[in-house]
Structure 1
Amino acid sequence: MAPVSTPPAKEARSIFNSLGYEVLDDGDEFRARRKWREVRVTALADTADAPKRGELRCFVTWEENASRLRRQLSDSNPEYEWAIIAVREGGDYEVARAPPCRVAV
């Protein structure tokens, strides 16, 4: 079982590095930059109060916390686009919620 009391910060950095992002800053919250896009990434051990502002945000949490975090963020209806990455034991991950995409008509 994953160490649920510790945020998956190392795993979050590894995920964004493997996706080709430049990882900036240290700690459980960092910026990930690729081309024109910069995402604020927050690694969470459990659900927490979501920030009220921002542009692009990604929350990385353990798989067992992802559904609860998704409900919390949906209920708070923040002004920014957000995504959740659920990390499994062993480092595998799944995008539990991605921002809505805009379709050109």
Structure 2
Amino acid sequence: MARTVPPNDEARSVFERLGYAISGDGPEFIAQRKWRSVRVRTLCAEDAARPGSLDGEYGLECLVTWTDCVDELDERLSEQSPEGEWAIIGVDDDGNHEVHRAA
């Protein structure tokens, strides 16, 4: 099933359950806890197929997409070999999540 909407609410919920404070609206936000600041971007299926590049501005980057889009996103990012620390998190409709890749 093609996912045309990014998992914004699910991504926020994951980071809030992990104890992060969230700032920002929409498909990109900052999650902060203690000294750690993570730029989080949520991606629909189309964006997961062509995610753009990670710029490393925050040092820690996390891309959150639907579970069924993770493999394609991982493949695209492997081709880019981005620098810095980053992760891919897949979420489902029930808010369950799994970290699929981390630097």
The two structures have a TM-score, normalised by structure 1, of: 0.86
The equivalent position to 1:50 in structure 2, one of 43, 53, 62, is 53
1:4 aligned onto 2:27:
no
CA distance in 2, matches of 1:9, 1:26: 9
CA distance in 2, matches of 1:74, 1:22: 29
Q: Secondary structure at the match of 1:71?
A: helix
Identity percentage over the alignment? 46
- CA root-mean-square deviation: 1.4
Q: How many residues align?
A: 98
Larger gyration radius, structure 1 or structure 2: 1
CA distance in 2, matches of 1:7, 1:64: 12
Aligned residue number for residue 76 of structure 2: 72
The two structures have a TM-score, normalised by structure 2, of: 0.87
Q: For the Cα contact (< 8 Å) 2:30–2:40, is it kept in 1?
A: yes
Which blocks of at least 5 consecutive residues in structure 2 are unaligned? Answer: none
Aligned residue number for residue 82 of structure 1: 86
Q: Structure 1, residues 36-86: CA drift from partner, whole Å, max 9, x if none? A: 000000000021212333310000000111011111111101122110110
CA distance in 2, matches of 1:71, 1:38: 25
Q: Structure 1, residues 1-39: CA drift from partner, whole Å, max 9, x if none? A: 6x7100000000000000000001111000000000000
- Give the structure with the larger helix fraction: 2
